Structure 1
Amino acid sequence: MSVSRQHLKTGDPNPPLRHDVLRIYSMGFCPFAQRARLVLAAKNIKYEVVNCNLNQKPEFLLERNPAGTVPVLEYQGNVVTESLIICDLLEDLFPDKPLKAKDPFQRAKNRLAVDKFGPIVSLFYKVGYNPNDTEAKGTLRKLLKEYQAFCITKNTNFIGGDQLGMVDLMIWPWIERMHVLGDDIVAEYVPEFKAWIDRMETIPAVQACQISKEKLVQLYAGYFARNAVYD
């Protein structure tokens, strides 16, 4: 894996593309982009990362995704956006080391587990931007409690089964960041969920994409104040 040293911005040229190397346009601490990087790392796929400043978006990012969001995948002349779609595509393109269950019914249940986490993602940002919104924080706590109960009933080492799977990687970036909203939220994790977190932290792909807790607190303090520092 190669990563651009700095976040490229308006006016910066796009680094030369290689047809045979998969590229992810990313942002250094974006959890959506981290989803794609986790899947790539788990599958040991060769790839490169071009980080983009999302306050001063480079023209080449907007050409590929007019919405200006990341991740964006570019490979062999094809461009794909949206993290979940990109991760599904990676599973299809690189079927070795599968991250999805063979059984179609289990795959459907696992996708439901990802979708069920969606409201938690939305509340993560709502609480982050509005730390005094006690109602939103209360709802976030409630949904996290319900999600933990949902995971525990599966009685498996990982959320999608006994082996690391797509579900775990799709929700992990926000679990990794949840402490930036306050220790009072993560203090409510039940032992079984903490055990899952401990297992995740031993996974080489997770370690490869990890950002320290201290660094995340620093980064999100600026991000939620709408004054993100990218480099």
Structure 2
Amino acid sequence: MAALLYSFRRCPYAMRARMAVAYAGVSVETVEVSLKAKPPEMLERSPKGTVPVLVLDDQVLEQSLDIMRWALAQNDPDDWSMASDPEAQRQIAELIAENDGSFKTDLDRYKYAVRYPEFTQAEYRARGEVFLERLEELLAERDFLVADHLTLADTALAPFVRQFCYVDPEWFWQSHYPKLQGWLKRFLESALFVNAMAKHTALP
């Protein structure tokens, strides 16, 4: 049975899984999922019902980072994992943890501020900017976050920065984060992102 990657194009977790699989060049069939009518075969293998899900012959991976690491374990030609650099690996892990933790919380509240009336949308954006400022500082010395080339950190974080940008694009592209803007623009225009985000037939 071919490996199946259940995905949803607008989900940042699914985006980064798709890119890692595409980068590694592994043979995986991507299945677009309608979140309003999830395919029974996906729910049978992954009852939690969220994407991405990678169904392999011998296991089911239900977390985007697990899927990314699986893909890199198959093939990592440009050393996204920084295999021989423990300090870079530590930095990658820290950035992903902050992105998936506090920044994702701030992003959700910024995007859906009406659901969280404790603070204004601008206040939620300011909270998220703490992370943007850290990324801007990292990009001051190089074009990528951790090394002089794309790593797991760039690919894991970019879909979430993209989502933050799209809440108010006019604000983002006029903000005081020129290095981050350039980094995101290169990401969005990259063949990796464009090809990984090609449309697939939706199920059901």
> What range is the shorter-chain TM-score in?
0.7 to 0.9
Note the alpha carbon deviations across 1:49-76, whole angstroms, 9 max, x for none: 1122222222211111111111111123
Which of 96, 99, 118 is the matching residue for 1:114? 96
Question: Structure 1 103/169 Cα, relative in aligned 2: closer, same or farther at 3 Å?
Answer: same
The within-5 A match list for 1:23-172 is 23-101=4-82, 102-118=84-100, 119-131=102-114, 133=117, 135=119, 137-154=121-138, 155-172=141-158
Question: Structure 1 178/151 Cα, relative in aligned 2: closer, same or farther at 3 Å?
Answer: closer
The one-letter code sitting in structure 1 at the alignment partner of 2:136 is: I
Distance 2:108 2:133 in 1: 23
Question: Which structure features the higher share of helix residues?
Answer: 2
Distance 1:198 1:180 in 2: 12
Question: Does the Cα contact within 8 Å between 2:113 and 2:124 map onto a contact in 1?
Answer: no
Distance 1:146 1:127 in 2: 13
Unaligned regions of 5+ residues in structure 2, if any?
A: none
Question: Does the Cα contact within 8 Å between 1:178 and 1:185 map onto a contact in 2?
Answer: no
Unaligned regions of 5+ residues in structure 1, if any?
A: 1-17, 212-229
Question: Does the Cα contact within 8 Å between 2:144 and 2:154 map onto a contact in 1?
Answer: yes
TM-score by length of 2: 0.82
TM-superposed deviation, 1:39: 0.8
Which of 171, 181, 200 is the matching residue for 2:187? 200
Distance 1:126 1:207 in 2: 28
Q: Secondary structure at the match of 1:24?
A: strand
Give the percent of matched residue pairs that are identical in Structure 1 and Structure 2.
21
Note the alpha carbon deviations across 1:79-128, whole angstroms, 9 max, x for none: 11111122122222324333111201210111101111122222322333
Higher relative contact order (CA 8 A, sep 6+): 2
| RMSD over aligned Cα atoms | 2.5
The one-letter code sitting in structure 1 at the alignment partner of 2:150 is: L
Q: Secondary structure at the match of 1:201?
A: helix
The one-letter code sitting in structure 1 at the alignment partner of 2:137 is: T
